[in-house]
Amino acid sequence: MRSSKSWKVLLVSLTAALSLSVLAGCSSNSKNDAEDNSKAIATYKGGAVTQKEFDTDVKVMKFLSPEQAQYLELDGFKETILKQEVAFEYLAGQASDKAKEEAKKQADKQLDTYKQGLGNTYASSLKEQGVTEDQIHDYMVRVLTVYQDMLLKVTDDEVKKQFEATKGDFTVATLRHVLVGFTDANKKERSKEDALKRAKEVQAKLKGGADFAAVAKEYSDDPGSKDSGGLYADKTLGTYVEEFKKAAQTLPLNTISDPIETTYGYHIMKVESRKEKTFDQLTNEEKETLKSTVASNKLQQFMEKDLNGIIEKIDLPKSSASPAASAGASPSASAPAASPSAK
């Protein structure tokens, strides 16, 4: 998997459904909110974010992504969230009516899905976090407004250009692999040295003519393919983690690879077939994925290149979280499973 950019802080189920890794909301302007007399903690060209608005959105983020809640108490991440609020408020204010209308429809669907997922715990979860359904809905609408506006601005030429830059991701391949993990089947840690030694043993057996399926069943730590002899049939290569994907794109057919290191461990691979796609052969879903990637990249470019020029002042009170905790923490996704597929 590629590493996240610094502005990408929270993994929220809403944004995963949108094919955008992470989005933060913008400040709340809900008509349901009481009068806001709190201090402006960020000012930007055309507006401001108040303490109350910021606190509300932090509560919403904790509700949507409780596993990331601890990081929202750290000053460094609070400032990142605040800057994101500025960006989304600014961008939502410039969005088209069409984007706003579509965002409202999508927010209704997303909220219904979220409520169904939580079931009987939905109301108690709202109460525990101190947020209302209207505040959750407003947050979703603002996030989706920016996303939909970005999507509407993506051109066909930009989609085709993105395909040309990443066409290897759409190659379909059938391959086999054996994973020697840094954690074995019994959840016991294995050193890199031991893993590499075992991977080379696997490689030697396969180069010596051993049956790949039999070796995979004996040695592989990948539960997703072990019982099928290490087989992944007709999979799009873009679904795999980066190192695994690159090897699958370039390894000569029906040859045994050297050990390939990923975050999971060492892989020994054999590619049995590989077929490239042209743009015209892409499914509508694949074209929409490309379009979403272009939109995500545009948002990322705005965050990295334009945002600081819009912000006029940040005046965020410091929390009591320890500097050591702030420096050492990392709001990363949960540890990957053994499969090489990127989730």
Q: Assign residue 251 the CATH number of its domain.
A: 3.10.50.40
- Quickly state the pLDDT bin for 131 (edges 50, 70, 90): very high
Question: Which pLDDT value is given to residue 14?
Answer: 35
Question: Which pLDDT value is given to residue 10?
Answer: 34
Question: Which pLDDT value is given to residue 34?
Answer: 60
Q: Judge if 250 and 202 occupy the same domain.
A: yes
Residue 27 lies in a domain: no
Work out how many domains the chain is built from and give that number. 2
DSSP-derived secondary structure letter, 132: -
Cα–Cα distance measured from residue 28 to residue 54, given in angstroms and rounded to the nearest whole number: 8
Residue 339 lies in a domain: no
Question: Which pLDDT value is given to residue 342?
Answer: 56
Q: Judge if 256 and 152 occupy the same domain.
A: no
Question: Which pLDDT value is given to residue 186?
Answer: 81
Q: Judge if 104 and 136 occupy the same domain.
A: yes
Residue 117 lies in a domain: yes
Residue 235 lies in a domain: yes
Cβ contacts of 296 within 8 Å, gap of 6 or more: 19, 20, 21, 150
Average confidence (pLDDT) over 108-123: 92
More confident residue, 227 or 340: 227
Q: Judge if 190 and 253 occupy the same domain.
A: yes
Q: Judge if 150 and 47 occupy the same domain.
A: yes
Q: pLDDT digits over 25-39, tens only?
A: 333 344 445 677 889
- Quickly state the pLDDT bin for 226 (edges 50, 70, 90): very high
Distances 184 to 61, 215, 338 between C-alpha atoms, Å? 35, 16, 10
Tell me the backbone φ, ψ of residue 106, rounded to 5 degrees: -65, -35
| For the chain, percent of residues with pLDDT exceeding 70 | 83
Average confidence (pLDDT) over 206-223: 97
Which residue, of 275, 302, 327, is where some domain finishes? 275
Q: Is the pLDDT of residue 6 over 60?
A: no
Q: pLDDT digits over 312-343, tens only?
A: 999 988 875 444 444 444 444 333 445 677 54
Say if residues 188 and 181 touch (Cβ distance below 8 Å): no
Cα–Cα distance measured from residue 342 to residue 107, given in angstroms and rounded to the nearest whole number: 26
- Average pLDDT of the chain, as a whole number: 85
Residue 338 lies in a domain: no
140 three-class SS: helix
Q: Judge if 120 and 71 occupy the same domain.
A: yes
Residue 1 lies in a domain: no
Q: Is the pLDDT of residue 2 over 70?
A: no
Q: Judge if 46 and 154 occupy the same domain.
A: yes
Strand order in the sheet with 47-50: 47-50, 40-44, 311-314
Q: Judge if 180 and 248 occupy the same domain.
A: yes
Q: Judge if 241 and 185 occupy the same domain.
A: yes
C-beta atoms surrounding 54 within 10 Å: 21
Which among 55, 58, 68, 77 has a CA at the least distance from the CA of 11?
68
Residue 125 lies in a domain: yes
Say if residues 266 and 199 touch (Cβ distance below 8 Å): yes
Q: Judge if 183 and 265 occupy the same domain.
A: yes
Least confident of 62-66, 243-247, 249-253, 300-304: 62-66
Residue 337 lies in a domain: no
Q: Is the pLDDT of residue 79 over 50?
A: yes
* Side chain identity at residue 209, one-letter code: G
Q: Judge if 108 and 251 occupy the same domain.
A: no
Question: Which pLDDT value is given to residue 68?
Answer: 80
Q: DSSP states of 248-305 as a string?
A: HHHSPTT-PPPPEE-SSEEEEEEEEEEE---GGG--HHHHHHHHHHHHHHHHHHIIII
pTM, rounded to two decimals: 0.73
Q: Judge if 124 and 202 occupy the same domain.
A: no
- Domain ranges, residue 84: 40-158+285-314
Which among 190, 340, 180, 187 has a CA at the least distance from the CA of 259?
180
More confident residue, 56 or 6: 56
- Quickly state the pLDDT bin for 65 (edges 50, 70, 90): confident
Q: pLDDT digits over 172-214, tens only?
A: 999 999 999 999 878 899 999 999 999 999 999 999 999 999 9
Distances 220 to 105, 183, 337 between C-alpha atoms, Å? 46, 11, 13
Cα–Cα distance measured from residue 310 to residue 339, given in angstroms and rounded to the nearest whole number: 42
